[in-house]
Structure 1
Amino acid sequence: MLSYVMRRLGYGLVMILAVVVLNFLLIRIAPGDPAEMIAGEMGGISAELLNDIRISYGLDQSVWVQLWIYLKQIAQLDLGTSFFFDKPVAELIGARLWPTLLLVLSAQIMSIIVGTVLGALAARNPRGMMSNFVGVFSLLGYALPVFWTGIMLIILFASWIPIFPVQGMTSARFDGGSLAYALDVLHHLALPSLTLAIIFLAQYARISRASMIDVLGADYVRTARAKGVSERRVVFWHALRNAILPLLTVAGLQFGNLISGALLVETVFNWPGMGTLAFESILRRDYPTVMGVLIVGAVMVVVANILTDISYRFADPRIRTGGR
């Protein structure tokens, strides 16, 4: 297992290096000049001022020289300094990281649990009403754009039925203890988390339904039923334990899409996470901050994939046996 994890870490480092190089080059060839954005914030633009800014931030050098300098910084775990905020990028991301993790993990947990249960219930009667509902819901949930779903939920639960806040992570004039703060954050988290979870919930429900239908026809399930085991125990104890294995793989692979979807959700709900920071930095041509967000996102995806592979090997004894 240790050698397997080390190999996966090596592949992950190569992938992160490719992400850094590719995104660095793409950002540099994109239209827009960060020196002009910085000079505009300073109140005036002149040729002399633009030249001084480019020299100060190293923008006067060639792209390949800038890339080499940046790679040496990354090797020292230095994400650089923000052009716009004039603060270390690591500090900016550190302040925005945990809101994004809270949003992503809550949406992931919600989608896996609810999607798995819906799929298991639908598999009990593949031609029943519940199965048809899961099929239609999966199609709609997967097809609807995440930003459109967020706007619709805002209209429904913040305008027509005003029970959830529209934006932010906490109330503007919050005054209370730790428990009240946690409840206030959960109140603001409800709509963004639900918006992000719907598309993946629908996919997990469809996969769980198909996997459960296949497992429920296995010999050991028929044997359990012949022994008089209750249908609930057959479905949720014997069958679901094996049917959930494909969900582990899909959940790990979809983690990257979950993070990219969080960018749109955070923008719609003004959630103070890395997605909002990335959106603001792209508009301001803040190259170091954009690169920092992309690198942290890539690391999160690589770690999630490694954890998924490890959990799959523990969940399925056949993989461990084959590895030996």
Structure 2
Amino acid sequence: MPDFATAVNRRLLQALPTVAGILVLNFLLLQQVPGDAVDILAGEAGGASAESMAALRQAYGMDGSLAERLLAYVGNVLQGNLGVSPRFNAPVLTLILERLPNSLFLVVSGLTLAVLSGVTLGVLMAEYAGRLPDRLLSLLNLLLYSTPGFWIGLLLILLFSVQLGWLPANGHATIGVELEGLAWLMDRARHAVLPIVTVATFFIAVYARLTRAAMLEVRNQEFIRTARAKGVHPLRITLRHTLRNALIPVSTMAGVHFAALFGGAAVTETVFGWPGLGRLTLDAVMTRDFNLLLGILLLSSFVVVVVNILVDLLQQWLDPRTRTLT
């Protein structure tokens, strides 16, 4: 198998046409939306002259024909310039990079918690399939699967913030306090607990059911029966052989869910006042800030492509049969 860096570079090159197609398609679709950021700004100011609105559109690159705007935007992107946000009057790239670490931390942490918890529950359910522990855990999964995430978030705030006062209910850090070292880390961790748990709850149920089904299917295959016949320890069979093969569909779904979480975390971020890309996207939509929205969509698409490449490489490690030299 080619080394890791070569495999990543090759897949990134293969993904470039996809990202380019996303860029062009998003630009064309957003141009069909009525109104723009200048209209919103003029409305908030109580009105504006046609000359001043035309000057603003020219300053933010909103004038000219559709083809001219598209070519100008693509040219700027190739130079690393995503334009300026009319709403915030700041470079789009700066605004995104300020929020991106928060969103990545929330999504990666939530998805990691969901995978670890879901796989653990799935293994237990498979080991006790058809018995009381399996039925109780299946009931728990059903509750997690059928409960809306925002409602779980509100319940967590009510219990742990309002009633018990253990955890903060809003933001990602304590405002107005300068912290360093371990105190800074603990403050960030306390603010992150509730949003991370809220993000993870639904997907814990998904991965638990998926792991259970995959393990029940794998443990009936020939190589598992051969391992048992050779006297291999049951724990080694479960962890080394059954679970490793069962993780292949789990890793596939994790890549899909990362894209869904990264693009749909606006509800969780709004409930907890988390300063991430989800809330920034919502602000951009409400104010018709197409420069900012295009930048978010483009960067989000690239991040999702990279994550799916890493998932593909993980699957090749889990199952050597999927490795190719091309």
When normalised by structure 1's length, the TM-score is: 0.91
Q: Alpha-carbon deviation of 1:149?
A: 2.5
Give the counterpart of 1:305 among 291, 305, 308: 308
Matched, 1:102 2:105: yes
Q: Which residue of 2 aligns with 1:170?
A: 173
CA RMSD of the aligned region, Å? 2.2
Map 1:37-186 onto structure 2 (within 5 A).
37-40=40-43, 44-186=47-189
- CA distance in 2: counterparts of 1:5 and 1:185, whole angstroms: 32
Which sections of structure 2, spanning at least 5 residues, go unmatched? none
Tell me which amino acid in the other structure corresponds to 1:204: Y
- 1:210 is matched with 213
Letter in 2 for 1:14: P
**Partners of 2:103 and 2:41 in 1: CA distance:** 27
* Aligned partner letter, 1:8: R
1:190 aligns with 2:193: yes
Matches within 5 A, 1:267-306: 267-306=270-309
- 1:259 equivalent in structure 2: 262
Residue 14, structure 1, aligned to residue 17, structure 2: yes
CA shift digits 1:284-317 (9 cap, x unpaired) = 2211111111111101110011111111112211
After alignment, is 227-236 or 27-36 more displaced? Answer: 227-236
SS in 2 for 1:127: coil
User: Structure 2 CA distance, aligned partners of 1:86 and 1:114?
Assistant: 43
Q: Deviations over 1:170-196 (max 9, x none)?
A: 112334321111111111101111111
Stretch deviating more after TM superposition (140-149 or 301-310): 140-149
* The one of 249, 252, 256 aligned to 1:249: 252
Q: What is the distance in 2 between the residues matched to 1:51 and 1:292?
A: 23
The answer on whether the counterparts of 2:36 and 2:289 sit within 8 Å (CA) in structure 1 is no
Q: 2:26 aligns with which of 19, 23, 26?
A: 23
1:133–1:259 distance in 2 versus 1, CA, 3 Å: farther
Give 5+ residue unaligned stretches, structure 1. Answer: none
> Is the contact between residue 139 and residue 202 of structure 1 (CA under 8 Å) also seen in structure 2?
yes
Decide whether the 8 Å contact of 1:36 with 1:45 is kept in 2: no
Equivalent pairs counted in the alignment come to: 323
| Aligned residues with identical type, % of pairs | 39
Which amino acid in the other structure matches residue 234 of structure 1? I
